[in-house]
Every structure is written in C-alpha cells, then in structure tokens.
Chain A
Amino acid sequence: MTTPILEIRNLHARIEDREILKGVNLIIPPGEVHAVMGRNGSGKSTLSYVLAGKEDYEITEGEVLLDGENLLEMEPAERAAAGLFLAFQYPIEIPGVATMTFLKAAMNAQRKARGEGELSTPDFMRAVKTAGTDLHIDTDMLKRPLNVGFSGGEKKRAEVLQMALLQPKMCILDETDSGLDIDALQVVSKGVNALRNAGRSMLVITHYQRLLNHIIPDVVHVFSDGKIVESGDKSLALQLEAKGYADFDNAAA
C-alpha cells in the first residue's frame, strides 16, 4: 500500500482551556485533493495551524504523519522543508522585507535543510518569472515589501506563487477563496490546479462550495465541532450548499 501523504490519527488540540480539535482522523493518499468544509468556528483553521506548527496550540492526543514522518515533532521550518505548505487565509504583511528577498530566503532555507545547494540568482529569477507569469505577477510586485499594501487578490496570488516555487508535497489551502472576486478566484484556482500532480496532495479548507467548482476535490469532508463528521465525493459539497450544515450537527453531537 502506498504511504499516504498526510495521515491524521485522533488529533486533539486545545488553546488554553478550550478544546478545539476533538479527534480528527484523515488520510490523504498521494495526488488526491480533499476538501474540508464547515462553519465558521468549527475548528477548520485551527487544524491548518496545528498542522503547520503554530505555537498557540497544545496537542493533547493523536499523531500526524507527513509522508510517513512524525510531523508534530518538527519545528515549523522543518515541516516546510519536509514538504508541508500552508496557504494562509490572511497572509501576513511584513514591512521592510522585499517579497523577492523573502522568496529567495525561503527557497534556499528549504534547499539547505534538504542538503541541496543554494540557487543561483539567475536560476532563482528564472523560476520566479516562470511561476509568476501564469499568476499575473510581475517583478514590480515582488520588489514591494511582502504582502504590504497588496490587494486581497495579490495576496492570494502571492501565496500560490510561493507554493509553486517551494514545490511542497502537501498543500493546505486555508479559505483561499476569501477576499477574492470572481476573476481573481479563477486566476488563483488555475494556479492551484496547475500544481496538481500524482505526487502532491492538497487539503482545501473552505466554507463555500464556490471554490470547489474551480478546484474539484476527490473527497469532501464535513467538519463540525472539532472533527470530521461525514465524508463523501464532490456531490457532498453540493448537498451542503443546498441544505446547510444543520443536518450534520447531530452527527457531531
């Protein structure tokens, strides 16, 4: 049997005294795109932060394997170098750090962690240019400080650009559709779809079905009160859209 790219077993996490993840189980085989849908406050974003290693959460139970390796023992930077990528719902603005400088630092840090040599500047520029073209990102945007003054669409395109450059095996997209108009949604989705391949898996977190018309998932999970309460194919998303989340609340109880 192939090793799943991501395997979450009975994951519990809390922030201070409040338990937010209450036993998440999820297996994502290579090449598959899974969607997690749920209400605001159901714990979807917490799941993405816990996977990426944000400090605020305490893991009380369970384990997570990334391509067979124990993810929870790794520092956030190690997780990234091991192939995990989180596209943020709200990418952070970092004044004084040029986007280009950041991209190069991130690529080289990951290469270094994997024992690969540094990218030469021409190779780096070429990679950025190639990846940027489809996302309508020009070099002027990349000279600006990271995410500072970027529009909603620019921020999300910049996230997908990072994903394209870092070539992760496991992409988590946290509410990537938030703050996007229809045109921007199409550009971003196209960018994401271009990165789909047999070795790379994705976890798409959203509370609207809309995004899933563009990034078509293999499996849809319904998230409620800190765990997955229902899984199905893409028709589950349509069913949710039509009926709302209420039907699944009992399942969670």
Chain B
Amino acid sequence: MAFSVPVRLGAAENTLIEQLNSAGAAATAERISVAGLPTRRVESYHYTDLKTLLRSVPPLADQNDTLDAFLKSGATPFHVEGAHQITIANGAVAYDDNAPAGVIVGKAEGNALSTRDDVLVHLNTALAKESLTLTIENTIEQVIQIDRRIEGEAAHVLDSAKIFVADNASVTILETLSSSDAAHVGNHATYLAVGRNTVVTHIVIDLSPRAATQFSTSEYTIADGAKLRTVTIHAGAALSRSQIFARFTGEGAHGDFTGLNLVEDGQHNDITIDIRHGVANTTSQELYKQIARGRSKAVFQGKIVVERDAQKTDAKMMMQGLMLSNEAEILSKPELEIYADDVVCGHGSTCGELDEDSMFYLMSRGIPKAEAETMLVRGFIEEVLDPVENEALAEALHGVVDRWLLGKAG
C-alpha cells in the first residue's frame, strides 16, 4: 500500500541538498531529497512545519573568513560581569589561551551530537566542521560564556560544542546566540556530559535580531548524583527552535529543565524537550513559561520518557502560557511515556491572560496600568530566573526580559 510520492522540494531544501552534496554528505542530501523538510505530518514538527516556515537558506558561511575581524567587530550583545568568554564566530572556534584554571578549551574536528533521526541534528552533523571542546575539571566560580555569533552577510552557520564536566566539578555555562542583522540561519549543537556528583547550570539564550532564524540542539547525559539545571530563553529570531535531548544514565541524579519562550509580532519560536529517565532513582522537574504578544506563535513540546528499568522516577512537567494579545497563539503538547511501574510522573499545562484581579490590586495602589502589567509579567517569569544563583548573570538575564517587555529585544 505504501507508495511513496516524491515530495516537491522548495528553495530551502534545494539549497540544503546542494550544500550537503558539496560537503560530501550524500546520505543526508539524499534523505532530504526524498523526505523534504519535516511538515506538520511529522509528529515532532507538528507545530513547527519547517517546510512552510523555512523559505530559504543562505550560503554556507566561509569559515576561513576573517575570524579576527569578526572578533573585533564589536562587544558581545550580552555581557556578564566576570564571565570568561569563548567565541565561536560563523562556526569557527576562536583560540582561547586565557581560560581560568580547571577549564580546558580546545577544538576538534566534526560535530558533537549523537546520531538521532532529526533533520536539524542531521544537518549539524553533516555540515559543522569543527567543535569547541570544553572540559571542566573542578569547581569553577567564573561563568563560562560560549558566545556563538554570526557576523557579516546572511549565512548558514553550523557550529558545535562538546562539553565534559568532570566528576565532582561544578560550573555555570552560558551560551549566547547572536548575529548581525541579516537573514542568517544558525544551527547550533551542544553535547554536555554531566559527570558524577556535579552541579551544572547550562543556559542557552537567543538574542538574535528579527531577521535571523536560529536552531539549537542541546544533548545531555547525566551521571550519578548530578544536579543539572538548564535554562532556555528565546528573546530574538523570527523563527527559532531549541531542542533538548537529555538522558539520565546514573542513579540519584536530578534535572531541572526550565525555559522562557518570549514571542512577539511575527515570531514563531519553539522549545521541544525530550527527557529520558534511563535508570532507577532519578528525578526531574520541567518548568517552561511562554509569553506571546502581537500576532505570534509560541510552541512547547515536552516529552518525558521513563524507561523500563527507571523505577522510582519522579518527574513533573509544567507549562504555563501568558497571552498578551488576542492574535497570539500558545501551543503546548506535554507527553509522558512510561515503561516502569513504580514511578511518580505528572504534567500540567495552563494558559491565560494577565489576572484582572491582580491588575486591579496593583493599580489600586497607584501603580499605572503599563507598570502593573510589567510587574505581573516579571512575577510570572521569576520562577524560572530566580534559581539562577550567580548574581551578575541573574541580573543580565532579568535585563534581557526587561528589554523584551519594553519591546527592545532582538
């Protein structure tokens, strides 16, 4: 019965196929020429139909281009007092001889992600030429910032980072995605191996201008006794999708997966997470907040998988949406897939407008309407930002949200 009808390929797909062929990635090129980019019929892209949304793809960035010039081109858009910054510009990893003790920075050929049937992963694997390698050996007080930027004319940029956090170490890693004001397509990959008994915070924040499209994929393996906190923040790009694939591989580990999806007029931003409890006695909490205003679309897909051996898993997922306009759309799809029989799992999803009673209460104290709204929105997102312990970083993150609230982000 299953006759496969050849799909009609669009401009974006044709460009991707050319780029893949020129990079010698014939298998991936073939895959795209047969299946095309995923449409709404592909479950994991149901709300983010890439075939429709990704109209064109710019030429691949020339990595031999002047990296130095890029580095001198301006300050990072997101400065955190005291952070150590490592730059990846247009896919090329900048030389860094200034890393703090206990942080080993290097680069390796190829890509960091594991094989996975996902088009963004396939593209990154085929086209990212080198990866930043980062090893965290012990407790690092300084925030380590990976500044991923796209400079110059519109470019398709694929970059990659492979991070190892050694047993008993602790670190806060901040990744910032930014770009010049052009129709770039970024595809960023991070593999983060979270060692035993570590405490790791990993933040990915997209600050690109509206012209850009940004994709990012973060993959985590979480060992015994580790405590991982991830924060994904979308505050830029017309089209973006952040994917998180995490797997607990050691007992006694805990993960907090959190994020803010901030969308405004003309934006379509997607956070898709896939959290796998692979062994017994691990816990996770997922908390994502989406705020939409203007004519925009915010998408959250959250999947928790509890594998057969993962008894005593405790996992709770929550998505809360806040609609600030009538034209905004907030889409949320929570999924639980449970193969063990002794687990506590739950999910919830809520969506609403600013609470009228709360607005009235604040205004009755003399706080004007616009300020009251800002206070409530800040209050709404506080649950996600509050656990970020580094003060300078927390302040910078609040700054991003405040700029978004004032309509000045991206």
Q: Which residues on A are within 8 Å of B, measured CB to CB?
A: 52-55, 75-77, 79-81, 85-86, 88, 91-92, 94-97, 101-102, 105-106, 109-110, 113, 145, 162, 166
Contact = CB atoms under 8 A, between A and B. Distances in A.
A102 B368 contact: no
A138 to B, nearest CB: 21
8 contacts: A75-B363, A80-B365, A81-B366, A94-B361, A96-B379, A96-B383, A106-B365, A166-B366
Contacts of A166: 365-366
Interface residues on B, range: 20 to 34
Contacts of B357: 92
B371 interface: yes
B358 A94 contact: yes
Interface string B343-373: 0000000000001111011111111110110
A169 to B, nearest CB: 13
B368 A109 contact: yes
Nearest to B380: A96
Given A77-B368, A109-B365, 12 more contacts: A53-B360, A55-B360, A75-B363, A76-B360, A80-B363, A88-B361, A94-B376, A95-B382, A96-B379, A105-B375, A109-B367, A113-B366
A92 B357 CA distance: 7
Contacts of B376: 94, 97
Most buried by A among B356, B360, B361: B361
B378 interface: yes
Contacts of A110: 365-366
Nearest to A93: B358
Contact of B364 (A86, A95, A96): A86
B381 interface: yes
Contacts of B358: 92, 94
A77 B379 contact: no
A54 B369 contact: no
B367 A106 contact: yes
Given A55-B356, A94-B358, A77 B369 contact: yes
B379 A76 contact: no
A55 B357 CA distance: 10
A162 B364 CA distance: 11
Nearest to B375: A97
Contacts of B369: 75, 77
